[in-house]
Structure 1
Amino acid sequence: MDTIVLDADRRLHGPYTLGAALLDRLVPEALDRWPDLVAAHDIEIRVAAPHLEIPVRRRSLADSLPRAQRILIPGARRTLRIANGLAEFVRDHLGRSGPLTLTVDNLDEADPTDTELAEVLGRRLDPGLLRLVRGRSVPGTGPLRADFDRFRDEGFHHAMAEAGLEALRGMAYESDPEGWRRLVERVAGALEAIEREDEARALYDRARRESTDPKHRATIAYGTAMLLVRHHDPAQRDAEQALAWINEAVALTSLLPDPRVRAFHLGFDLNGKALVEVRRGRRDAALALVQEAIDLAEQDLRGEHPVHRLVLYANRAQLMAMAGRTQEALADYAIAIGADPGYPDYYLDRGSLLHKLGEYDHALADFEAVIRLSPPFPEAYYNRAEVRFATGDLDGARADLDHTLELDPEFAPAYVNRSGLHAAAGAYDLARQDVERGLALDPRSPHLMCVLGQVEAAEGRQAEAMAAFDAALDLDPDLVAAWASRGALAFESGDHAAALSDLTRALKLAETAELLFNRALVHRAAGRAEEAAQDLLRAAELAPDDPDIARELARA
């Protein structure tokens, strides 16, 4: 087994100091012997080690634009996708070249990108293939790397926050007003992305005390509004206060004299105001604001800011979908995707809408486009699992949920769905394990509480099952599965009145053949033959080929 020692100290090279050093060892050999392996992970390699010259297979529109037009800043979770892609590259490389012992010095001094990468490598790679060893701790004392353009473009929010705050401490506004304003905007945005909103708000307030530049003041007013509607703690959100701040931004950018500059910045702020209005429950107002932003862009921004325009169309698509205007939503998603076919996120959004519409083949194609275009994307596998489940491919759904949780063990919704699959298959021990893991992440998940009730009922613990169903309904009074499961439990215990009440409540929320069939059985057991027959007749209308319904109708 080969052995190498690498230094992860972020003061050497910033984000992915460890990742780039490891790629420096592996990529040249892969380019020479297995170029397909490099091609399969070109995005991840370029993000972590931009100095390496490799063929580019996957590109998005932003890659060819001036930096000022690259307005889509990656979210904080993107680095997990990069880490998983790098882990798969390392796994497949070592599977061909042989096992490796990697000793990592200064892991405690690593940037969060490398800490995350080391965790993913340790979790996903067999120790017989990659043995990770913590090495010496001899941290350097040099300055932090300050490649702020790279930090912004790649979504290296921790590095932007740390190095940016350090730079701002030694930087007077008067010495470089434009540079100071740009750095404040970037650092505050990074702080918000990593859930340090109080520090971001303090920086916005400081900027307001320092600067009288209208465009900058509009930008920080916008940032304050977004902080107030997107705060990671729902209790800290305040849509009304956000409205006051976004209106200030709109007022300022409306007065910008250059029509092209005004169209971009005002359109940006109108789009932000639309989000505020959505949070205030005013979707029609939000749609009108996005339309106004689109009109500005189409009138005054022809030939530039294509990403800005496609974002507006995608946002209008989301609002159209909320309003039930699905064909218009699909048309807008087609515009956004057509403008940048290499950007994966809007395939994910369109696929989710297609899934809701029952267009499973098209939804599957969109989710597989995400998988093809992006580094490993947990949401794409999770969504594909839902389509596979809906089309009866339970094994495929289970495999996708397994992979979702391999990529991100903290993806709580995947525990909900996988535990349900386990329960339906009678694998109650596995279902309980997933429920417990999921509840550790999301203790107030009504769906997990419902599956827990189903597990308890299957194992004969009726009191515990009833308590779990009650807890699920306390959290979500419209959870059909909980009403149905509680009704079934009441029926099994001989409480026909309670069973009828719960199943009737479930049917008011969602009329299905299965619920009607179950209620018919309760009616029959309670001596209500006519009501049972009515439920069976309606169930047969909904599911005319169901043999169980046909059998019970014949008995009736």
Structure 2
Amino acid sequence: MRLLMPMIDGHRRPHGPYTVAATLLRRLVPQVLDHAADLVAAHDIEILAAAPDLAKLVTARRAGISASLSEDERILVPAPRRTLRLANGLAEFVRAAVEPGGTLAVCNAAAADPTDTEFLTVLMRRIPADVLAVRLYSDGPEPPPETRTPEELWAAVDRCMSEGFLHATIELGEQGLASTEPGGALWWRFAQRTATALGALGRGREARALWHLARRSSQDPVVHAASAYGTAMLDARHSDPAQRDLGRARGWLNAAIAISTLLPDPLERAFKLGFDRNGLALVELREGDPMAALGLVESAMELAAELGDRHPLHRMVLLANRGQLLAALGRTKEALDDYAAAIAIDPLFPDYYLERGNLHYRLGRHDDALADYERALRVGPPLPEAYYNRSELRTVRGDVDGALADLGHVIELDPAYLDAYINRAGLLAALERDEEARADVTAGLALAPGSPYLLAILGQLDTAAGNHAEARRALDLAVDYAPGLAAAWGNRGVLRFTVGDVEGAVADLTRAIELDPQPDLHANRAVALRALGRAAEAAADEERAAQGP
């Protein structure tokens, strides 16, 4: 169908996240169901996340177990990137559903929820303007002020947190906090969700202040234990490792454990104490003691056994965490068993397929890795990481075209995915498709100007183009930024040989071989050694190169 709709009011009030997307879906889905029901079924998660009222038309084929659990059992907080996955899935649905020549006009775009802003950005990036022309207008009628009761606000906050609509969780949560008595049961539920969302979006200072306010407002040990845990995670999980304070996190986790130990209800105590010990395991792991971390996770699993059928997601997380630790300790069979058990609890949760696939890949079980990556792609909205991981597997198998296609899809889904530019540029350079490689290097350096990987590729491209001074600048920077990067030393060795510095070439290639003894490095050093008349050493390098990886 050609999409021609009246102006959509994109203001996030009163309908909240995906106001625009839901309005669009209510028009498209009933018509698409008449002739392409499979298309709707393939995007059930995205459609129902944006427009839950369409549940009467759309069956949730890929619903995980979270939807059937009680509020206190839904412990997983979707990552901030989940909304990008939803936006990409919705864009793919719209692209397949509409005919060329459509238009979509949105007023109050400046006041849209971040979910709609992201969705519209993805629409404009992924659907050509001659298929769907999107027009955004910042002005529009001002909707009436919010009139929801605290209970209605809570229902909205709970849904937003479950779906990963973190900005709306904060905005609505703050309204709920303002409309309830500090320290009360409903106020605490607002506080916990709001502080968690603030932390997930990197707004740690505000989250920490809210956890502190919760402690000042309550004498409930459950509140104090959860606030201590939440405060600890701000330090333990900070996105910048340099800003993590693992010692301070340990202190707060010790407080949480001490309080949880005293909880009178045995089931609540078993759950919360296990939850806290699992958090402390993260600190132990990041401090370099995986055995201590494993002991804590196993003690949490013993506590979880007391819960019966309750808290399946808690058990799933503990199994996957133990699998990760066992894999790090070389106990791969046990690790694979734990991942299988975690996946069995919720076969529609993609993350553990990815983790198990990565373990299969490291073990050389490429068919099993491929199967897991592709399962991860099937059970949820578009997942850039799964395409990226599959591209690495395809590269190792020699399927360069498949790898390039996967990397291209990663970049289409997420233009800020730096590693995809690095890997695609490297593959293109190896194929001597230098112009395309340079375009990826340029795009990647715009995201990360000091990336040594991109600078190493840039030096390689400039060497091939005869731009020797530019190549030397790029490669010197790459070596300075990442002294352990073999490709930077190897590429600089090639450059130095090219400009006649044969001794320098041997020195750089020798360092590259020390870091990563790849056949091509031995072959290149053999050429330089022969140029210096060191025939025996050159022959030894040629023999190593012939042996392959």
Normalising by the smaller structure, the TM-score range is over 0.9
CA drift at 1:144: 7.6
Runs of 4 or more, structure 1, over 6 Å off, are none
Q: Is the 8 A contact 1:10 1:144 kept in 2?
A: no
Change (3 A) 1:27 1:344: same
CA shift digits 1:144-198 (9 cap, x unpaired): 8730110111011100111111221232225xx1111111110000111112111
CA drift at 1:375: 0.5
Q: Which of residues 378, 386, 391 is equivalent to 2:384?
A: 378
Q: Which of residues 465, 471, 481 is equivalent to 1:465?
A: 471
Q: Which of residues 175, 186, 191 is equivalent to 2:193?
A: 186
- Tell me, yes or no, if structure 1 residue 404 matches structure 2 residue 413: no
CA shift digits 1:508-552 (9 cap, x unpaired): 222222222222222222111111222233333446xxxxxxxxx
**2:124 corresponds to:** 122
Q: Is the 8 A contact 2:9 2:140 kept in 1?
A: no
In structure 1, C-alpha distance between the alignment counterparts of 2:125 and 2:52, rounded to whole Å: 25
CA drift at 1:384: 1.0
In structure 1, C-alpha distance between the alignment counterparts of 2:393 and 2:365, rounded to whole Å: 9
In structure 2, C-alpha distance between the alignment counterparts of 1:61 and 1:396, rounded to whole Å: 34
**2:233 corresponds to:** 226
Change (3 A) 1:468 1:321: farther
128-137 or 148-157, which deviates more:
128-137
CA drift at 1:341: 1.1
CA shift digits 1:214-254 (9 cap, x unpaired): 11111111111110122234443211111111111111112
Change (3 A) 1:506 1:305: same
SS at match of 1:11: coil
Change (3 A) 1:232 1:467: same
Q: Is the 8 A contact 2:174 2:190 kept in 1?
A: no
SS at match of 1:4: coil
In structure 2, C-alpha distance between the alignment counterparts of 1:63 and 1:352, rounded to whole Å: 28
- Tell me, yes or no, if structure 1 residue 76 matches structure 2 residue 85: no
In structure 1, C-alpha distance between the alignment counterparts of 2:21 and 2:488, rounded to whole Å: 46
Number of corresponding residues: 538
What's the % identity of the aligned pairs? 52
**2:491 corresponds to:** 485
**1:549 corresponds to:** none
Change (3 A) 1:504 1:419: same
SS at match of 1:12: coil
**1:112 corresponds to:** 114
- Tell me, yes or no, if structure 1 residue 152 matches structure 2 residue 154: no
In structure 2, C-alpha distance between the alignment counterparts of 1:38 and 1:491, rounded to whole Å: 59
**2:204 corresponds to:** 197
CA drift at 1:51: 0.8
Change (3 A) 1:211 1:277: same
* Structure 2 letter corresponding to 1:241: R
Q: Is the 8 A contact 1:6 1:18 kept in 2?
A: yes
392-401 or 278-287, which deviates more:
278-287
42-51 or 280-289, which deviates more:
280-289
* Structure 1 letter corresponding to 2:297: V
486-495 or 31-40, which deviates more:
486-495
For structure 2, which runs of at least 5 residues remain unmatched after alignment? none
**1:295 corresponds to:** 302
**2:146 corresponds to:** 143
Q: Which of residues 100, 103, 116 is equivalent to 1:101?
A: 103
In structure 2, C-alpha distance between the alignment counterparts of 1:153 and 1:88, rounded to whole Å: 23
In structure 2, C-alpha distance between the alignment counterparts of 1:301 and 1:170, rounded to whole Å: 35
| TM-score of the aligned structures, taking structure 1 as reference length | 0.93
CA shift digits 1:23-78 (9 cap, x unpaired): 11111111222111110100001101111121222121223322321211111100
CA drift at 1:279: 2.1
280-289 or 136-145, which deviates more:
136-145
Q: Which of residues 425, 429, 434 is equivalent to 1:428?
A: 434
SS at match of 1:173: coil
Q: Which of residues 182, 197, 202 is equivalent to 1:173?
A: 182
Q: Which of residues 412, 416, 422 is equivalent to 2:422?
A: 416
Change (3 A) 1:538 1:347: same
